Amino acid sequence: MPTAGILVIGNEILSGKVVDTNSPYLCRELRALGVDVERVLVIPDDVPLIAREVAAMSKAFDYVFTSGGIGPTHDDLTMQGIARAFQVPIERSESIANRLTRAIGSELNESQLKMAEVPRGAQLVDVGDLWFPVVIVENVSIFPGIPELLRKKFESIRQRFKGVPILLKRVYVKRRESEIAESLNDLLGEFPELMLGSYPKIGEEAFHVLLTLESRDAGYLQDALDALLARLPEGSVHKVE
């Protein structure tokens, strides 16, 4: 299955001034598409660091997604970092500059022109009704940090990232995790390819543990679910979804 790394760029994330919602969104969407996210990393606005991490992720994963650092201000350094990662210069895209001029309705100032600078060889992908394209360099898709814009841009190109979707079953259990741990271990012994999660819940009256069973094989998943339900103590299951 295709793999992915997510690189969140911004001092504001590391300082706690802004809460990152982009990487959880991308993780959920990519998982639904069948892409395995294997790393999420948050780094500051630093060109050498961006270059190093982009280069490493690009080699390690099929897809890389960056979030943040592509605006007009002094600390928007993502494009420079990605250009350095692939050892290419930054160039002004006349296509983006023309789009910016049309959108703004006047001649661009230097800060606005900065938004038209992209690594040489970048691919520009039109995004629905948004005037600014998605910029892709090699296997790196470059997204803004503004969550609403990131989501619109991702939705427009999501079909580029298609694997075999992971199927999910949820089992809500009324027993404590310690009471069912042995059953879970036995289940994994019988179904070693199953992705099994166990999440205790505090403050829930109806159940104490949420179990998640995941697989790309529908038959395998159903067999594992049936085996789990047979192992759990009678009357311990609140519901199955």
Mean pLDDT over 122-149 rounds to: 89
Q: Domain count of the chain?
A: 2
Q: Which of the given ranges, 43-47, 68-72, 94-98, 161-165, has the highest pLDDT on average?
A: 43-47
Do 143 and 183 share a domain, yes or no? no
Do 178 and 143 share a domain, yes or no? no
pLDDT recorded at residue 74: 85
Confidence of residue 1 (pLDDT cuts 50, 70, 90): confident
DSSP code per residue over the chain: --EEEEEEE-HHHHTTSS---HHHHHHHHHHHHT-EEEEEEEE-S-HHHHHHHHHHHHHH-SEEEEES--SSSTT--HHHHHHHHTT--EEE-HHHHHHHHHHHTS---HHHHHTTEEETT-EEEEETTEEEEEEEETTEEEE-SSHHHHHHHHHHHGGGS--PPPEEEEEEESS-HHHHHHHHHHHHHH-TT-EEEEEE-SS-SS-SEEEEEEES-HHHHHHHHHHHHHHSPTT-EEEE-
Confidence of residue 222 (pLDDT cuts 50, 70, 90): very high
Average pLDDT, the chain: 94
Mean pLDDT over 4-24 rounds to: 97
pLDDT recorded at residue 130: 67
pLDDT in tens, 75-120: 899 999 999 999 999 999 998 888 888 888 888 888 888 888 999 9
The residue segments making up the domain with residue 223 are 167-240
pLDDT of 216 > 80? The answer is yes
Do 221 and 106 share a domain, yes or no? no
Of 194, 203, 220, 199, which Cα lies nearest the Cα of 211? 199
Do 19 and 134 share a domain, yes or no? yes
Angle subtended at Cα 135 by Cα 130 and Cα 137, rounded to the nearest 5 degrees: 165
pLDDT recorded at residue 108: 86
Cα–Cα dist 107/181, whole Å: 66
pLDDT of 186 > 90? The answer is yes
Do 127 and 48 share a domain, yes or no? yes
Do 119 and 204 share a domain, yes or no? no
Do 187 and 153 share a domain, yes or no? no
pLDDT of 10 > 70? The answer is yes
Do 41 and 140 share a domain, yes or no? yes
Cα–Cα dist 150/157, whole Å: 11
Mean pLDDT over 30-51 rounds to: 96
